[in-house]
Amino acid sequence: MNDELLKLGSHTFGSRLILGTGKFSDTETMIRAVEASGTELVTVALRRFNRDKPNDDLCAPLAKLSAVRLMPNTSGAINAKEAVRAAQLGRELSGSPFVKVEIHPNPHHLMPDPVETYFAAKELAADGFLVLPYIPADPVLAKKLEDVGCAAVMPLGAAIGSGGGLSTLEMIKLIIRDSNIPVIVDAGLRAPSEAACAMEMGCAAVLVNSAIAAAQDPVAMAEAFALGVQTGFEARQAGLMLQSEFAVATSPLTSFLS
């Protein structure tokens, strides 16, 4: 077993940084950021596929990058039925077995719907997709999604685009502890140091979009995130030292042992 590689289904990836491709000022910057990040997996919203209008299409330029695999996502869908349809169309258009199930019925805060996400993920996994659901940081939901055959779970660190960092830290730790599939923090990260922190905790990868797209220099920030992810991963492998000394008892508890 090679611990260096991220595994999703039977696919392996050298980079543990996954990029979202929306919100960039222009396609060229997005492509340069993708290249600078060293990522091997990017997610593209089906709603940003536009075959009829090449300069409005995110799919074709990304498909040209040979080092990068595409993962269509279902953002824009507000229920399981729509997400399943979007996933099927995305697979048809991109040829990718991966799908990021993303269902946020509220267009303002964009929080994922756990119930609809569960049903969509279940159906798509049964249909042979490698499903990566974007979910609230809920350890029970994470196990239920594992049970229905998801390839990974992607709990949010904070609300999409909020830059809130790892506000769900304790829940993500619990998800990691009991998960048999990769746990990928998706959404909320603002700084490469937070990506490093997620990796130090034991996340298998992180997915970043806004923090790169909305940086002053997206290309440089993409590279910085790559370094952050790598640093955190290496630190995890190296084993962190303790935060504080262990407690010293005030009165002996073991005097009952002869």
Partner 1 sequence: MKTTLPEWIDPAPWLAREYRVVDVEHAIGTESPDESTLAALLSPAAAEFLEPMAARAQAITRRHFGQTIQLYIPLYLSSYCSNGCAYCGFASDRHTDRHTLPFDAVEKELDSIKTMGFEEILLLTGERSSRADIDYLRTCVRLAADRFHTVAIEVFPMEQDEYHMLAEAGCVSVTMYQETYDPEPYDRMHRWGPKKDFFNRLDAPARALAGGLRFAGLGALLGLADPYHDMIALYRHTRHLQKTYWQAGVSLSFPRIRHEAGGFTAPHPVDEKMLAQIIFAFRICLPDVPLTLSTREGAPFRDGIAGIGINKMSIASRTTVGGYSGNAPEEGQFDINDGRSLETFQAMLHGKNLEPVFKNWEKLYRLTA
Q: What are phi and psi of 47, to 5 degrees?
A: -65, -15
Q: Shortest gap between Cβ of 15 and partner 1 (angstroms)?
A: 24
Q: What are phi and psi of 149, to 5 degrees?
A: 100, 20
Catalytic annotation, pick one of 23, 64, 81, 100: 100
The CA distance from 60 to 94, in Å, is 9
143 binds partner 1 (CB under 8 A): yes
The CA distance from 111 to 169, in Å, is 17
247 binds partner 1 (CB under 8 A): yes
255 binds partner 1 (CB under 8 A): yes
Q: Which of 57, 173, 227, 235 binds partner 1 (CB under 8 A)?
A: 173
Q: Shortest gap between Cβ of 236 and partner 1 (angstroms)?
A: 10
257 binds partner 1 (CB under 8 A): yes
216 binds partner 1 (CB under 8 A): no
Residue 71: strand, helix, or coil: strand
The CA distance from 13 to 167, in Å, is 27
Q: Which is nearer to partner 1, 20 or 139 (CB)?
A: 139
Host H or E run for residue 100:
strand 98-101
Span near partner 1 by CB under 8 A; candidates 96-104, 157-165, 224-232, 243-251: 243-251
Is 173 annotated as catalytic? Answer: no
Q: Which of 4, 56, 178, 217 binds partner 1 (CB under 8 A)?
A: 178
Whole-angstrom Cα Rg for the chain:
19
- Specify whether the CB–CB gap between 93 and 72 falls below 8 A: yes
Interface residues toward partner 1, by CB under 8 A: 143, 173, 177-180, 202, 241-249, 252-258
The catalytic residues are 100
